[in-house]
Structure 1
Amino acid sequence: MSPTERVERVVVQHFAFPLLQALGFDESEIRYEFETGCGQVDLAARKNGDPEDIFFSSPKNPYLLLEAKSRAVNLREGSCYRDAVCQIESYLLAKNCKSAKWGIITNANNIQLWRKHGKVVHPATANLDISSDNIESIVRNLRDKIENYERALTVCVYNNKGGVGKTTTIINLAATLATTTLATKRKKVLVVDFDSQGDLTRSLGATPGKITLTQCLKDPKIDIHAIVQTYRLKYRLKGKQTTLPIFDIIPRDPELETLTDSQSLAYIQKGTRRLRDLIAPLRNEYDYILIDCPTQWLYFSQSGVFAADVILIPTRPDDLSSLNNAARVITSFVPETAKSRQDGGPRTLPIFFNGVSSGSEYTIQLANEEIGKLIDQEKSVDLRPYFWPHFKKGNENKSIFRIPDYAVISSASFDRTPAVFRDRRVLEYYQSLAREYFIDE
């Protein structure tokens, strides 16, 4: 055993193991060197079910994974931190850890809690410095998050470039998650139209009620549930018109346009933080909350990104500006938001190509060449995981997920119906999108 490994073992035995006990797990609920299916994680934990389901004796279905490092390893920043993040993410998504919901990386100097929701792993806390003065409050914070697990994953679909299909993506992804099994039960989904133009609201034929989103933003005493509506799919059954509830929606209202005025914004407490607080009571009622916001990096888009756990970025392979603006979101807007939030989030998911026409391989080749230039030019952030998520040493896979450009996708809004309900091919592509990013099968 190397000196580094010996020091790491000290961290495991004298800090990490007692930490898990402080988080509420007893000795029989903790296992050393758990085999995840893609390597051994230092510690795994799960509450025991019954006398015949003791995790220490029968290590399966872990709930929490902990990866420890030597105190000499820099987990504050840099390549060692990024490697540790990749490691805990790969363990959480490994075949023997389908049941895992939480991951921890620590070296006894720093600690960070990570949450898994389906296929998404994102920070549940900031990367915290540990001291004798704050260790008790850190443990309380971690235990509270683990024991009060929030149901929803909040996703903001955003690019600082128009014409990339943000609204179309949200409508069809919501419909897909809410109506197809994808190897799991149907998901309960809420979509939030936080774009003053209201394209999502119009595309679904929704209208605001007596109480509006704008009123809720301005008056903290209004219950958010008062503005939640249900999108219902219209169809004929045995010659009669009927409807089927699909997902919920918070529609845009006309007054929302006035919030572009600085004087109107003054009536909203907490500014861009308000939307996150507003939807907080709904986070245990839905599996997914999808937020639509406008292109310009102003109040509405800043609010949508601030409210999200993760950011999903549509681009177009034939639109150079959409690729450059995606890089800007990744390197500037999301880090700026994370600095303001100070809780580790949000995290950016890899880009995807929206509206790919047939016979576009040459265009995709040109797009990848441009992406290569963006990666080479950017010195502060490694853009490869965001543009080429499957790219690894020895396997230069530059594939990017694609949604094809079918006319039915854009025309579906004329009859206020998500395109996935009109064309089986469209449904299959959005099912693939859900599997690529969200559903862990």
Structure 2
Amino acid sequence: FPFIYYQTFLFYHRNLYLHLKWNCYISQNAEEPEVEDRFVKRLLNALGFTSDEWVQQFKTGKGPADFAARKNHDDDKFSVAKIKPDLIIEVKGRVSGNAIINLAEGTPAYKKAKEQITGYLLAPKCQTSQWGIITNSTDIQLFRKHGKIVLPATDCMRITKDNIKIITQIKNLLENPPKALRICIYNDKGGVGKTTTTINLAAILRQEHKKVLVVDFDPQQGDLTDSLGLQEGKVKLSDCLVDGAFNVKETIQAFNLKNKAGQLVKVFDVIPSDSGLSKFMAHTYESKIDKGSARLRDLLDIFVCNYDYILIDAPTNWTFFSKSSVIASDVILMPTEHNNFSSLKNAAKVIKEFLPEVKKLRQDGGPIALPIFFNRHKETEASIKRANAEIKAILTLKKGDNYIFDTNLLPYYWPKSTKTVIDTTIFSVPEYEVVSTAAFSRKPAVFQHKKAAEYYLKLAKEYFLYE
């Protein structure tokens, strides 16, 4: 009888050695109930949850999740209270009836399970949940939630007796969650307002009581640094890229504004662009950086527990700088313009070409792209019609004699569409003069005009913040 046999392994947790022995025999044609009893319950135990810290068939408000778990607090037992779960698990069998279920990434079963875990994590009774797992005891993947964003925290991994360490990896992530969401504002086309978006999004997040770090990783223009009236400091980001003796924390400068009483108040922190970055545009200098384009991610790792959001303003074109920015991020936010067709096409290039390259390099499931939005958008019926025609052309694939929508790209352009209804609604930030001219005053537009603040608050709520 085919089986998976999990032998004793050792892992370290809070200075205690915990021994775990799984002796769980799971048939090759196991259906969901068998996977739940013989695998998931033991998995929960291995992740540190006792029997009164999890429940089955948890009512999320958007359907029942197979399992939910939360650590008990004093006399507050989760199995009794059944509220505010930390972890949601969606379980699949190895087979369903006579059909084999392949949960490997990219398969139809995987896509369905991913949609389910995302829906559960965003459901009304799961707002406290930070983690989700999908598994069928053959494959397993951990997801993390930050605000309204659900993103992979690991690759979809194959479980074998030789790589049981993946359970330890998941346990370590659950016990040491990152606080920050790292956002790269990027499009492979210039002139779409990336810097304006970065500054005003950072400002509105701060207004919503979030702690924000902004990184200007543009080696030539440094528009973000200039528009905030900041200068490079004694310790520069370019120094930190090549020399581990420099402390990246010392690159940070505070962007301050005066309040009504005339006192300086910090709005957010900034790692400014500096003159030394431009030398890395040459491949000879880039080769001197340990880990190359992955170095920026390592430098920013030190901040993930100190901020709620880390925003990276990336330059255009797929260079060391833009690639580094994408590698360092959890999500990619892509401004486009409805009358700039190149910006619409280049967003597809980012999704279809650049992100797979980075995912292969990182091997942790990330980063992910967010749906495009129209920036500096002053719509007319004719201009929107032209933009949608261009998007339709981008999304259309020829299959034999028929033309169909590219379902892989559809969620990034028309995210409100369903399998039966095509909804062409795209979020937009309306054109407003004070937004574009705010740079001359060294003050984000959201602090100068109520309308600008409304626009960017809607942007933040559309993608990141709960209402």
Q: Structure 1 length normalisation: TM-score?
A: 0.94
> Residues of 2 paired with 1:269 and 1:394: CA distance?
49
> Residues of 2 paired with 1:75 and 1:43: CA distance?
18
**Is 1:330 equivalent to 2:351 in the alignment?**
yes
SS at match of 1:126: coil
Which residue is equivalent to 2:280? Answer: 259
SS at match of 1:386: helix
Which digits, 9 at most, give the CA deviation of each residue in 1:268-297, with x for residues without a partner? 111100000011111100000000111010
Which residue is equivalent to 1:103? Answer: 132
Which residue is equivalent to 1:138? Answer: 166
SS at match of 2:55: strand
Which residue is equivalent to 1:375? Answer: 395
SS at match of 1:57: helix
Which digits, 9 at most, give the CA deviation of each residue in 1:42-63, with x for residues without a partner? 1000011122x21112211010
- The number of equivalent residue pairs is 427
SS at match of 1:328: helix
1:380 is displaced (CA, Å) by: 7.5
**Residues 410/132 of structure 1: CA separation in 2 closer, same or farther (3 Å cut):** same
State the one-letter code of the partner of 2:74: D
1:26 is displaced (CA, Å) by: 0.6
Structure 1 consecutive aligned stretches of length 4 or more whose deviation exceeds 4 Å: 378-381
State the one-letter code of the partner of 2:442: R
Which digits, 9 at most, give the CA deviation of each residue in 1:211-249, with x for residues without a partner? 111001111121111111100113553xxx432210000
Mapping of 1:2-401 within 5 angstroms?
7-51=31-75, 53-71=76-94, 72-76=100-104, 77-135=106-164, 137-180=165-208, 186-196=209-219, 197-234=221-258, 237=261, 241-357=262-378, 359-377=379-397, 382-401=408-427
> Residues of 1 paired with 2:343 and 2:271: CA distance?
27
Match of 2:436 among 407, 410, 416: 410
Q: Is the 8 A contact 2:180 2:304 kept in 1?
A: yes
State the one-letter code of the partner of 2:280: L
> Residues of 1 paired with 2:324 and 2:148: CA distance?
25
Q: Is the 8 A contact 2:374 2:428 kept in 1?
A: yes
1:168 is displaced (CA, Å) by: 0.5
Q: Is the 8 A contact 1:174 1:191 kept in 2?
A: yes
State the one-letter code of the partner of 1:148: N
SS at match of 2:78: coil
**Residues 246/360 of structure 1: CA separation in 2 closer, same or farther (3 Å cut):** same
SS at match of 2:65: strand
Which digits, 9 at most, give the CA deviation of each residue in 1:78-122, with x for residues without a partner? 222111111100100000101100000011111000000011111
> Residues of 2 paired with 1:284 and 1:373: CA distance?
42
> Residues of 1 paired with 2:274 and 2:260: CA distance?
30
SS at match of 2:396: helix
> Residues of 2 paired with 1:28 and 1:276: CA distance?
39
State the one-letter code of the partner of 1:75: L
Q: Is the 8 A contact 2:397 2:406 kept in 1?
A: no
State the one-letter code of the partner of 1:222: F
> Residues of 1 paired with 2:450 and 2:457: CA distance?
10
More helix by percentage: 1
> Residues of 2 paired with 1:34 and 1:62: CA distance?
9
Query: Which has the higher relative contact order, 1 or 2, with Cα contacts under 8 A spaced 6 or more apart?
Result: 1
Q: Is the 8 A contact 2:395 2:406 kept in 1?
A: no
1:6 is displaced (CA, Å) by: 7.5
> Residues of 2 paired with 1:6 and 1:263: CA distance?
55
> Residues of 1 paired with 2:388 and 2:135: CA distance?
36
* Worse-superposed segment, 307-316 or 67-76: 67-76
State the one-letter code of the partner of 2:273: R
- Percent identity over paired residues: 48
Q: Is the 8 A contact 2:337 2:377 kept in 1?
A: yes
> Residues of 2 paired with 1:209 and 1:261: CA distance?
23
State the one-letter code of the partner of 2:202: A
Task: Give unmatched runs, 5+ long, in structure 1.
Answer: 181-185
**Residues 7/169 of structure 1: CA separation in 2 closer, same or farther (3 Å cut):** same
Q: Is the 8 A contact 1:331 1:381 kept in 2?
A: no
1:347 is displaced (CA, Å) by: 0.8
State the one-letter code of the partner of 2:60: T
Which residue is equivalent to 1:183? Answer: none
State the one-letter code of the partner of 1:353: F
> Residues of 2 paired with 1:434 and 1:284: CA distance?
21
> Residues of 1 paired with 2:259 and 2:68: CA distance?
49
Q: Is the 8 A contact 2:216 2:225 kept in 1?
A: yes
SS at match of 1:49: coil
> Residues of 2 paired with 1:161 and 1:342: CA distance?
27
> Residues of 2 paired with 1:125 and 1:440: CA distance?
24
> Residues of 1 paired with 2:217 and 2:32: CA distance?
47
State the one-letter code of the partner of 1:16: V
SS at match of 1:429: helix
> Residues of 1 paired with 2:112 and 2:197: CA distance?
31
> Residues of 1 paired with 2:207 and 2:298: CA distance?
28
State the one-letter code of the partner of 2:34: V
SS at match of 1:156: strand
